[in-house]
Structure 1
Amino acid sequence: MSRNIVWHNAAVSHTERQHRNGHQPCLLWYTGLSGSGKSTIANAVDRLLFDLGCHTYLLDGDNVRHGLNGDLGFDDASRVENIRRITEVSRLMLDAGLIVGTAFISPFIADRAQAKALAGSAFIEVFVDTPLSICEQRDPKGLYKKARAGEIAHFTGISSPYEAPTSPDIHLQTAALSIEQAARQVISLLQQRGILCQTQLRQPAN
């Protein structure tokens, strides 16, 4: 980093933004294998939060690679950089007082630990735990089939490891949960931690 760069203090403080939003900011970090249901559950949670009047944004792995991370591949070094950039973007959104969702495989424990270190107490790790066999059965993008055929290198769960969380904040075992049930578990934790205000708790979600 250049020595000529200094942090510019904004005229509107983080506390003011948080007060205007009416809830605490947090980073919902969804991790799991490809096809586990991360994006589907993250979107369901985002819809519930939006209907409760929360200020949110969802960062999806595929969407981000269309722009911000379009120059990155899928080797281990690129995956690390992918998560680093997402973490930095998430930090900016947290400073704006948002409830941020990130739906990325993020296969390495060390990278998720770095995200947690940067986000601090706002970090909530959501393990979308779906057996590999079920993910392969779903295979919505046909990626597992290509990986098994050797057409995709560095594919998590097949030719690249996935390091599962050992103590996630939320453990969603999707083989036994519907999308709605999984989403409600996330909302319930946000309620327990006081991230949602009392007005939002009383307001029914559609």
Structure 2
Amino acid sequence: MTAGESLYDVKDLHKDFRLAGGVVKVLCGLNFTVQRGQWTALVGPSGSGKTTLLHLLGGLDRPTSGAVMLEGVDLATLSARRLTALRRRRIGFVFQAYHLFPELSAWENAALPALHWGEARDDAFAKARQWLERFGLGERLEHRPQELSGGEQQRVAIARALINDPDVILADEPTGNLDAAAAADIMAILAELRATGNKTLVMVTHDQALAARADAVVSLMKQ
């Protein structure tokens, strides 16, 4: 598939959650398409379902009804094993909270997914080093998270998300915990990945100025 062709097709997507007080409808009849190589921003007030939608796009959850189609495949029809394999090959997740292991170095945190999936240690650490050096952290490989700034920790988290070279990056408020300068650095990294690696970026953001830079915007309303 080439840039500009449909990657995701979201069709009449509904997601409900059953709580003690009844059913909470979060997503109701959502329809949109994400083109390969596109930057799509997901915007809306708190509670409108942005993170829920990101989880559905990543196969971390299943819809109540409707479909999330990835290159024509309905993710809800895949077994848990096939979904796990798909995420390993195709999708990298970046979160607002960095989710780094405090006892591990930057190098070890970035290499962890590749090691988890059985890649040879030397190969996994070589890949981690390449990404961290690309992101300006070549001198910080042995530093633990508490020894890194917020922007540096997020760069480690992005390196970890990219260690298996996914073609889709799903980012949940990746600059939300950062100051303006660090946020600009992270967005520059993500923009470069799209430009040079033909990666598709779907990003949750509350920053309207940031959303305005995206190729497409999906606006969600609180139900």
TM over 0.5: no
Q: As a proportion of its length, which structure holds more helix?
A: 1
**TM-score normalised by length of structure 1:** 0.31
